[in-house]
Amino acid sequence: MNTISYLEASTLALRQEMERDPLVWALGEDLGRGGVFGQYGDLQRRFGPARICDTPISESTIMGAAVGAAMMGTRPVVEMRFSDFALCAVDELVNQAAKARFMFGGQAKVPLVARLPIGMWRSSAAQHSQSLESWWTHIPGLVVVAPSTPADNHALLRAAIRCDDPVVYHEHKDLWGLKGEVDERAEPARLGEARILRPGNDVTVVTWSKTVHVALEAAALAGSPSLEVIDLRTLWPWDRATVFGSAQRTGRLLVAHEAVRVGGFGGEIAAEAAEQLGVKVRRLGAPRIPIAYAKPMEDQARITAAAIAAAARLLLG
């Protein structure tokens, strides 16, 4: 085990997969200088500009090139810099990558990974702070991943690169510096498996990405109900067996996420649990407002440990 950061874990995962498979490569803006957050490190020096490829400032061009290259047999890792910027490449990702296998009767596949960093980070304001994961879970054909720890960012990115379907991969920008133990020799994770991080008896809390750490903080607050915290890890496919098993035992389910509550993926999980199990459910997400630059206003959109604990108490009635 080595203690490395969430950012370093992703660099390690990409390096290992590029060493393992010469068909793995990456493209995006500023990768030659390490990427906007430094997550590509010295990979261009190690592998050369043909495999760590700098591109023009055109998200649709980047994604379109990756879709074509994936259909021709390579495994591109597509850097979109910010989740918000990927909206300039929606047609290529949603209408081409996600549908190619279906439209060609299984004769073509698009094994690409689109890295879309999400979340609030250092007063980055309305166009650089969004969590849009529910947009991609809505699209048939896409796999959606959101790691919360360095170990998962390592294991899940490796799994995503090996996946034969297009993967939308969400790293939270505020977790880049988070450190944790990573086993470099561990096998890639299995997509679609959640993890119970903290057992509890009163309320099942399902969450992902940075909100996992907020939920664990809520579980430790004095006077908080006994919370069972589940890190979903993969939003699509999501681990119904783990979530339903926990919710059936506690009888109460709270889904918490940093994304806007309206239309958030938490609503899907809550609805499934209510329909299948009949348990009490609640959702906790950001208000439907743009994320402001000013910190006091930005904080109005944050999901806090106190808010999670309060929502859990409401479920207890």
**Looking at the annotation, which residues are catalytic?**
128
Give residues with Cβ within 8 angstroms of 25, minimum separation 6: 18, 47, 50, 51, 52, 53, 69, 74, 75, 76, 77
What percent of the chain is helix, strand and coil (3-state, nearest 5)?
40, 20, 40
Crossing angle, helix 150-162 and helix 6-20, to 10 degrees?
A: 30
Contact by Cβ (8 Å): 233, 151: no
User: What is the C-alpha separation between 151 and 184, in angstroms, rounded?
Assistant: 9
Q: Is 203 helix (H, G, I), strand (E, B) or coil?
A: strand
Residue 187 buriedness (CB in 10 A; 0-12 / 13-18 / 19+): exposed
DSSP structure class, residue 290: P
Alpha-carbon 187 to chain mean position: 19
**Which helix or strand (DSSP H or E) is residue 236 part of?**
strand 234-236
Phi, psi of 105, rounded to the nearest 5 degrees:
60, 35
User: What is the C-alpha separation between 113 and 130, in angstroms, rounded?
Assistant: 19
Contact by Cβ (8 Å): 165, 109: yes
Q: Sheet of 252-260: strands edge to edge? A: 195-198, 227-231, 203-207, 252-260, 280-286
**Which helix or strand (DSSP H or E) is residue 3 part of?**
strand 2-5
Residue type, 8: E
144 closest CA partner among 248, 236, 206, 16: 236
Q: Could you count the other beta carbons within 10 Å of the beta carbon of residue 265?
A: 27
